[in-house]
Structure 1
Amino acid sequence: MASQQWKVDEPWLDLKCALGEGPFYEKETNSLRLVDIKKKHVHTVSISDNGDGSSLKTIQLDVCPTVTADIEGVDPQDRILLGVKHGLAVLDRQAGTYKMLAPFNAQENNERIRSNDGAADPHGKFWLGTMTDFGLGEFQPEGFLARFDSSRAKEEVLTDLVIPNGLGWSPDKKTMYFTHSKTREVFAFDYSLETGAVSNKRLWYRHEGPGEPDGFRVDVEGNVWHAIYGESSVIKINPQGKVIGSITLPTRNITCVQFVGTELFITSAADAEGDETSQKYGGGVFKVDVGIAGLELFKFKL
């Protein structure tokens, strides 16, 4: 079967993020949420925005936001779940303030680490990875992948990680995928529909290119659409772990994707070292119709 190819030449929204991440479709308002980790922004923009940013709303925080999720039974216009430097928080979007829900460490904050990507699972628990924070030299294997439940208890599932990244589930919810960017590996786990426990960790995909796999989403046929940071691309990987398609973008540092219908919205980070076009469009949000819908993301049960 011939590989599918798409090409995007310019951003849908030229947002100039320093580190745009965590795109999330907010169905209630037909809008896209995303964070700028470095600028400490939470952005919301209407899907029907024509790209001029006229509908853009931005919350400025005093801490880095890393990922968002909806909360079961809560209007996302009022409150959403938010990954922050020291753990999980709840963001009051009307007030523009957050309250810590579950810190990584109840005794003391480890200033060396911050949260990174995460996702709610089919049981309503939230998985959140941690990594070395900015400004501390080379990233160290001091991160972990933790799972939080409604009791706010934290369970460290994986440890000694450098850059834990995207998480997602297969259409039948029996497989969980997890990306470790630094080693360019995506792992698969058996996911228990009864208990939410994971087992049988195995290498599912190893990226051979110069870039690193970052965030991803899964479509209704079980394909994984994976952003490749440093490689100007998103790749489509089938359930067997084979690349069957790719999207070429005009900037190098592609961070994550989110389905809205059959359109894929794609976030990116600034690029100070790439060619003129990559520098110009780094930090923008892109979109392309890929002809297939994605799975809905799960909600956190508070």
Structure 2
Amino acid sequence: MSLHRVECVVKGGALIGEGPVWEESHQTLMFVDIAGKKLHRWNPAANQIETLETDDMVSMVVPCRSGGYLAGIGRNIVAIDWSTKDITLLAEVDEDKPNNRLNDGKVDPAGRLLVGTMAKEEKPTVLERQQGALFSVASDLTVTKLLSPVDISNGMEWSLDHNIFYYIDSLSHKVDAFDYDIHTGSIGNRRTVYHMEEGEGFPDGMTSDAEGHLWVACYNAGKVISIDPSTGVRLQTVILPVSKPTSCCFGGPDYSDLYVTSARLGLSESESRLQPLAGHIFRVRGLGVKGRPSTAFSR
């Protein structure tokens, strides 16, 4: 059992902090504020944060091999030059669903971007549910729909041997697995590896450690849990001082730090008073595990 400690490291007060990714080349943490329409890059060594504002909801950001970043803004996949702040449209998804937006995204071990969509509404009605999908974006920007319908496309991760893709559709209250063909990016044989238990809220963003265990942010439950996807056993629980953790990633010089984003949108006035750190970024140390470097988009 780990003797971990939780500290607030970035007091950004995001409406919906999301999509953390550790950028090894700069030793920085990238993350977004979806409803705040902002991308952030935080340097822990200098405790400095840089921000890029956008004109629509920004759902995810990942580094590119050639430099710069790929981000999801509205329903668009865009390229971002951080030095010039130029934003270039590359591709659009869900063209026939203007009320959708992109949500979580992650690069697979081969360099493809997997990214999902959802209805724009925070609490979609029955008619607005099942409007999302999961897409794969190749290096040549070819977009392929992998899965639909989806309620709220969220966390993604791969097994150590790259043969299994783990995926979260938040309103299903579970973590699913698919067989994954790393050569083609195709998925199949869907099955469930973990059902959220009472008091664990909605599964949101997700990462994995060097042992292949999954770490899942539990939205509305104020915790991050670690699970063994091969057995469905919960291994560790990290309690946070906020109720809406949204996602997590490992980072730091040796990848032993777990960074957790959170949201304050949707809190009542009384809940906001009780959670002054809502929307901030947290760092968890002493977990006894390390993460793995993320993969850059192959462009």
1:241-288 CA-to-partner distances (Å, cap 9, x unmatched) read 210110000000000111111110110000523645653111010011
Distance verdict in 2 for CA 1:137–1:157, change over 3 Å = closer
Structure 1 window deviating more from structure 2 (280-289 vs 205-214): it is 205-214
Alignment-derived partner of residue 104 in structure 2: 117
The C-alpha deviation readout for 1:31-56, integer Å capped at 9, x for no partner, is 1110000011111111224xxxx511
**Residue segments in structure 1 that go unaligned for 5+ positions in a row:** none
Say if 2:267 is the partner of 1:280: no
Partner of 2:208: 218
Indicate if the aligned counterparts of 1:59 and 1:96 stay in contact, CA closer than 8 A. Answer: yes
Closer, same or farther in 2 for the Cα pair 1:293/1:144, shift >3 Å?
Answer: same
Structure 1, residues 186-231: CA drift from partner, whole Å, max 9, x if none? 1111112333322211111110234100001110101101100000
- 3-state SS, counterpart of residue 29 of structure 1: coil
Of stretches 167-176 and 89-98 in structure 1, the one that deviates more from structure 2 is 89-98
Using the TM superposition, give the Cα deviation of residue 117 of structure 1 relative to its aligned residue in structure 2, in angstroms: 0.2
How large is the RMSD of aligned CA atoms in angstroms?
Answer: 1.9
Corresponding residue number in structure 2 for 1:234: 224
- Please give the alpha-carbon distance, in whole angstroms, between the structure 1 residues aligned to 2:296 and 2:90: 16
* SS in structure 2 of the partner of residue 221 of structure 1: coil
Counterpart code for 1:287: R
1:200 and 1:110 map into 2 onto residues whose CA distance is: 27
Structure 1 residue identity aligned to 2:233: K
**Separation of aligned partners in 2, 1:194 and 1:14:** 41
**Number of equivalenced pairs:** 289
Fraction of identical pairs, as percent: 29
Aligned partners of 2:62, 2:114: CA distance in 1, in Å? 11
Offset, 1:123: 2.0
**2:298 aligned with 1:301:** yes
Question: Which secondary structure state, in structure 2, belongs to the residue aligned with residue 118 of structure 1?
Answer: strand
The 8 Å contact of residues 129 and 144 in structure 1, kept in 2 or not, is answered as yes
Aligned to 1:29: 26
- Between 142-151 and 291-300, the greater mean CA deviation after superposition: 291-300
Q: Residue 137 of structure 1: CA displacement?
A: 4.8
1:97 to 72, 86, 92: 86
Is the Cα contact below 8 Å between 2:214 and 2:228 reproduced in 1? yes
SS of the residue aligned with 1:182?
Answer: helix
TM-score, normalised relative to structure 1: 0.90
188-197 or 132-141, which deviates more: 132-141
The one of 171, 174, 193 aligned to 1:204: 193
Pairing of 1:223-262 with structure 2 (within 5 A): 223-239=213-229, 240-260=231-251, 261-262=255-256
Distance 1:233 1:94, change over 3 A: same
1:61 and 1:97 in contact (8 A); partners too: no
Q: Which amino acid aligns with 1:281?
A: L
2:167–2:177 CA contact under 8 A, matched in 1: yes
The equivalent of 2:38 in structure 1 is 41
1:286 is aligned with what amino acid? F
The aligned counterpart of 1:162 is: 151
Q: Matches of 1:252 and 1:6 in 2, distance apart?
A: 19
Match of 1:60 among 53, 57, 62: 53
Q: What secondary structure, in the 3-state scheme, does the structure 2 residue paired with 1:11 have?
A: strand
Q: Which residue of 2 aligns with 1:126?
A: 113
Q: How far off its partner does 1:111 sit?
A: 2.1
- Structure 1 CA distance for aligned equivalents of residues 155 and 118 of structure 2: 13
Q: CA deviation at 1:14?
A: 1.5
Alignment correspondent of 1:145? 134
Alpha-carbon distance between aligned partners in 2 of 1:227 and 1:69, rounded to the nearest angstrom: 19
Alpha-carbon separation, structure 2, partners of 1:155 and 1:6: 41
Matched AA of 1:161: V
2:276 aligns to what SS in structure 1? helix
